[in-house]
Structure 1
Amino acid sequence: MPSYRSYSDSELSYLLTQDDELAFTEIYHRFYGLLFIHASKRLNNDEEAKDVVQQLFESLWLKRAQVKPDGNLSAYLYTAIRHRILDIFSHQKVENKYVDSLQRFIDQDHELSDYKIREKQMKELIEKEIDSLPPKMREIFLLSRMQNKSHKEIAEELNISELTVKTQVKRALKILRSKLGLMVYVAFLLKVNS
């Protein structure tokens, strides 16, 4: 009986699908070193490379029935190790992203209360300026910007022309812009439109 070393990759693949443990052992010895070197170069970490190759061979044994006996065994193994390495990289990316965002959250945490105070002050300032608009203009403006009603809807509701609505909204925005300053005005518009 010939030694398993003399078998071709496809013969070993076929025997593997037949639950031949000796064929599996030969595949392991034949490819372990090459796969380890490949993984180690990519991962820059021998321990991680060992784990990845070990997991690949465990998976190979568990899924031995799915191996194509006439397929290219080395290509199959290299593709499998490549996918595992890419999984590690994408997992590390996700982890790094998580750590980065956690760090940003910690960094921003102390700024948050400051921001909330500023936001509250800005909101009060905007409300005060809206309240100081002429009554009819204020009513039209609030219907337009706070209740998101169209000029047509407002015109019908208040029994006035669409042109009047458009003019009043335009004037209100002009007044608010001059009183609030550009930055607060833009922030207000973004908030209203979001």
Structure 2
Amino acid sequence: MSASKLPISQRDFEHLYMTYKPRFLRIAQSYVRDAMTAEDLVAESFIQFLESRATVDTEHIPAYLLSSVKNRCLNYLRDCKRHHEAHDKLRTSAVRTLEQHLDILETTLPETMRYAEVSEIIERTLRGMPERTRRVFLAHRIENMSYKEIERLYGLSERQINYRLQTAKEQLRVALKDYAPLLALWTVLH
């Protein structure tokens, strides 16, 4: 075995560690920007050196250790980059999915789904009303008939017409209580 490849003693290793560790920590920290990670990478470099010290040329130990620290920093940064890219892809995919769901909900919920629900409730409530009340309500609200026209058509007094309209409105108001804000907005906009 040549003089330059003799195994290093424990005392020499401790001296080497105490001498170069602070310098390698600064270098590693300048790359990875994290003190704990830099500490781990430098420690791993020294452990690797300790395990393979019999094959390292003793004249180039500091250069070997520096190269090991830089390579570990490079590998760490590559891993971080891959991790961030994968995270960004997942985040982008999740955002795209959320946007699709929002688009679907925004285009169907307000107009289509609520309109269908409200229509169904109105039809059900109208079917449940007494025949004459329903006819008076539909004549006045849907066919835009005046009280006088309804009086002539059904032979009712103005007071009876008013009573039947109030009864129909109250039944609809109760049936549509959950949709009151939507109906108020729809009435204002239309």
TM-score category (smaller protein): 0.3 to 0.5
Output the TM-score relative to the length of structure 1: 0.46
Structure with higher Rg: it is 2
